[in-house]
Amino acid sequence: MSGAAPRAIAARVLDAVLNRGRSLKAELAQALPALPDTRDRALVEAICFAALRQHARADAALAAWIPKPLGHRDGDLRALLHAGFAQLDPLGLAPHAALAATVDAARTIGRAHQAKLVNALLRRAQREGLPVLAADAAWPAWLRERVRGDWPDDADAIFAASAQPAPTWLRVNRQRGERDTSLARLREAGIDAAAVDGMPDALRIEGSLPVATLPGFAEGVLSVQDGAAQRVADAISPAPGARVLDACVAPGGKSAHLMERDPSLRLVALDVDPARLAKVREGWARIGVGAAADLRAADACDTASWWDGTPFDAVLLDAPCSATGIVRRQPDVLLHRRAADITALAALQARLLDATWATLRPGGVLVYATCSILRVENDVQVEAFLARTPDAIVEPLDDSCGRPAGAGRQRLPGEGGMDGFFLTRLRKAD
Ligand SMILES: C[S@@+](CC[C@H](N)C(=O)[O-])C[C@H]1O[C@@H](n2cnc3c(N)ncnc32)[C@H](O)[C@@H]1O
């Protein structure tokens, strides 16, 4: 397959994400199977992520370099140019090959008549580089202001960390193998993985790589899960054999971790999205957990529709949120998130907290988690919950979960190499 094919596919994915509000993850999942070669698939992914991280700089270049602005019918051309710029910097591909293949891709996507323009713009980017903008230029103004308001001393570090690629964090399924064995196998395969102090199941690899080909992945020994998310299992620590509710389970990573640690847990797991539940089943089958779990498509707020009245010993509420802590993994969050979403999400989180609290037994523990850095979804949300819930008692979490933030702990993006994440542990009074 020629080098034009992956560039054309990257341009189509970027067009959908940049111009039609589509999710990067969903578009990649649809587009990548068309490429038989794993290197081409990795190239498409790398181009798309790098292009989205610098979309504001690429648009600034196009605004400065093209006399007549690109119109709404030129979305695919704009996307191809973003893909071309990303190959030169930051990906650092050999310029001659990157240019030739991207110009060829212009023909593939039906832009043969603009191949010369593509060539000229990529040559200019090669000579001059894209304009340098502040790291917060990639953030919509309303969200930038909210982050600055919530984290006045840390906002610049948040914007900078969110523009960087994330390391790959792996979780070792100790039902299927020891962490040291996995570490040795990865190193034998030439992969520079490291164990992480204080995190018994975690391995960390700098940069991204095709995880499905890692030794141990197909056998269900390894899964991908950020370090911050791996802290959830420590925070909830259910007693052996406990009856646990995961109110928002998909794609299933945190419950999988709990079941790897204790297969005797009695898990009820809900998600409102049946399509995402199918992915949970697939993922759990790969690692050999959850065969006995009660997995249901349900709105966790509507307890009458799914709860038989038997109280839970522990509840995990890993709530739908703005995903502002994981922009480095989902750069399209900055394109698609709207201010009104935050209000709606905060209201949903409050309903989920109230509904799931009612299912917890006295003495039981609820862990509330988000991958947000916005206080209204995190410490402010929990403060309001505590004010209306007199039987909720805050249980302290330690520094390994991030800095103190109201009744919980907040990790900001990039701290300890991890995602931005919020955690609170609440006990119901006996
Ligand atoms: C942050 S994700 C959960 C991630 C998951 N805990 C994991 O570790 O893989 C939030 C999930 O909540 C689900 N969700 C949103 N609203 C819900 C509701 N009212 N009831 C149940 N699930 C809901 C979404 O479909 C999404 O899959």
Residues 307-315 have a mean pLDDT of 98
Q: Vertex 416, ends 413 and 418: CA angle to 5°?
A: 45
Q: Is 295 in the pocket of ligand 1 (CB under 6 A)?
A: no
**Residue 289: per-residue pLDDT:** 97
Give the DSSP H/E element, type plus range, for residue 77: helix 75-88
Q: Is 393 in the pocket of ligand 1 (CB under 6 A)?
A: no
**Residue 72: per-residue pLDDT:** 86
Q: Above 80 in pLDDT, residue 2?
A: no
Q: Above 70 in pLDDT, residue 1?
A: no
Looking at residue 330, what DSSP letter applies?
-
Q: 3-class DSSP state for residue 107?
A: helix
Q: Above 60 in pLDDT, residue 186?
A: yes
Q: Which two tokens stand for residue 239?
A: 């007693």
Cβ(245)–Cβ(268) below 8 Å = yes
CA dihedral 88, 92, 93, 95 (to 10 degrees): 50
Of all protein residues, whose CA lies closest to atom 11 belonging to ligand 1? 248
Of all protein residues, whose CA lies closest to atom 25 belonging to ligand 1? 273
Cβ(278)–Cβ(296) below 8 Å = no
**Residue 32: per-residue pLDDT:** 95
Ligand 1: atom nearest CA of 352 is 19
pLDDT-derived band at 81 (thresholds 50, 70, 90) equals very high
Q: Is 3 in the pocket of ligand 1 (CB under 6 A)?
A: no
Q: How far is CA 171 from the centre of its chain?
A: 15
Which residue has tokens 């341009």? 11
In one-letter notation, the amino acid at residue 354 is D
Q: First vs last Cα of the chain: how many Å apart? A: 65
**Residue 208: per-residue pLDDT:** 85
Q: What is the pLDDT of residues 246-289, one digit of tens each?
A: 999 999 999 999 999 999 999 999 999 999 999 999 999 999 99
Q: Which two tokens stand for residue 105?
A: 């891709």
Q: Tell me whether domains 4-130 and 231-428 share a fold.
A: no
Select from 296, 283, 295 the least CA-distant residue to 257. 283
Q: Above 70 in pLDDT, residue 403?
A: yes
Q: 3-class DSSP state for residue 281?
A: helix
CA dihedral 332, 333, 337, 343 (to 10 degrees): 170
- How many angstroms does the Cα of residue 132 sit away from the middle of ligand 1? 37
Q: How far is CA 312 from CA 233, 241, 306, 395, in A?
A: 16, 12, 13, 18
Select from 294, 243, 295 the least CA-distant residue to 272. 295
The Cα–Cα gap between 16 and 19 comes to 6
The Cα–Cα gap between 370 and 388 comes to 20
Q: Which two tokens stand for residue 49?
A: 């992520």
Select from 307, 406, 325 the least CA-distant residue to 373. 325
The percent of residues above 70 in pLDDT, for the chain, comes to 100
Mutation choice for ligand 1 from 223, 272, 321, CB with most ligand atoms inside 8 A: 272
Q: What is the pLDDT of residues 202-230, one digit of tens each?
A: 999 998 888 888 999 999 999 999 999 99
HSE toward the beta carbon, residue 299, CA cutoff 13 A: 7
**Residue 359: per-residue pLDDT:** 98
Cβ(166)–Cβ(211) below 8 Å = no
**Residue 103: per-residue pLDDT:** 97
Q: How far is CA 175 from CA 55, 201, 219, 261, in A?
A: 43, 11, 11, 7
What kind of fold does domain 168-224 have according to CATH?
Alpha-Beta Plaits (3.30.70)
Q: Which two tokens stand for residue 144?
A: 């930038």
The percent of residues above 90 in pLDDT, for the chain, comes to 96
**Residue 210: per-residue pLDDT:** 85
**Residue 69: per-residue pLDDT:** 85
The Cα–Cα gap between 3 and 40 comes to 8
Of all protein residues, whose CA lies closest to atom 1 belonging to ligand 1? 320
Q: What is the pLDDT of residues 91-148, one digit of tens each?
A: 999 999 999 999 999 999 999 999 999 999 999 999 999 999 999 999 999 999 999 9
Q: Which two tokens stand for residue 69?
A: 């602005």
- How many angstroms does the Cα of residue 241 sit away from the middle of ligand 1? 24
Ligand 1: atom nearest CA of 320 is 10
| CATH code for the domain defined by 4-130 | 1.10.940.10
Please check whether the domain covering 231-428 is classified as CATH 3.40.50.150: yes
Catalytic residue among 48, 248, 321, 371: 371
**389 C-beta neighbours (distance < 10 Å), count:** 16
Instruction: Quote the pTM value.
Output: 0.95
Select from 202, 278, 269, 267 the least CA-distant residue to 238. 267
Q: How far is CA 98 from CA 31, 101, 107, 119, in A?
A: 20, 5, 15, 10
**Residue 181: per-residue pLDDT:** 96
The Cα–Cα gap between 154 and 227 comes to 20
Helices 38-53 and 55-65 pack at an angle, to 10 degrees, of 70
Q: How far is CA 395 from CA 368, 398, 424, in A?
A: 12, 10, 8
Cβ(418)–Cβ(411) below 8 Å = yes
Domain residue spans in the chain?
A: 4-130, 168-224, 231-428
Q: Is 250 in the pocket of ligand 1 (CB under 6 A)?
A: yes
Q: Which two tokens stand for residue 53?
A: 């991280």
- How many angstroms does the Cα of residue 248 sit away from the middle of ligand 1? 3
Q: What is the pLDDT of residues 377-402, one digit of tens each?
A: 999 999 999 999 999 999 999 999 99
**Residue 193: per-residue pLDDT:** 96
Residues 297-303 have a mean pLDDT of 98
Mean pLDDT over all residues of the chain? Answer: 96
Q: Is 253 in the pocket of ligand 1 (CB under 6 A)?
A: yes
Ligand 1: atom nearest CA of 316 is 6
**Residue 207: per-residue pLDDT:** 86
Question: Is position 248 annotated as part of the catalytic site?
Answer: no
